[in-house]
Amino acid sequence: MQGFLAFDFIDRFPKYLEFVLPYINERKLVYVEDIVEGLENGPAALVGLFRGQNVGKQVLKIA
């Protein structure tokens, strides 16, 4: 198994957008954000992230 970074393929990004944007606009492809509000809740959100308790992208909203 080998990992990669998105920036390794930055030259392909325009083609990716051309392909994926119609799916996003038609709601056939969605992304999920798990939003936690308040800096005071940051430590618990981080622990939850490591425990696999979040769904989707973990976001800490502080403002």
Residue 44 lies in a domain: yes
Residue 43 lies in a domain: yes
Percent of the chain with pLDDT over 70: 100
The token pair that represents 60 in the structure block:
């800490």
Classify residue 23: in a domain, yes or no: no
pLDDT of res. 63: 82
* Per-residue model confidence as pLDDT tens digits over 9-22: 999 999 999 999 99
**Positions of the chain with pLDDT lower than 50, given as ranges:** none
Is 12 within the bounds of a domain? no
**Residue 62 is assigned to a structural domain of this protein:** yes
Q: Is 51 part of any domain?
A: yes
The pair of structure tokens assigned to 11 is 């030259």
Check if the beta carbon of residue 49 is closer than 8 Å to that of residue 25: no
Number of domains observed in the structure of the chain: 1
Q: Which domain holds residue 40?
A: 32-63
Is residue 19 included in any domain, yes or no?
Answer: no
Report DSSP state, residue 29.
Answer: S
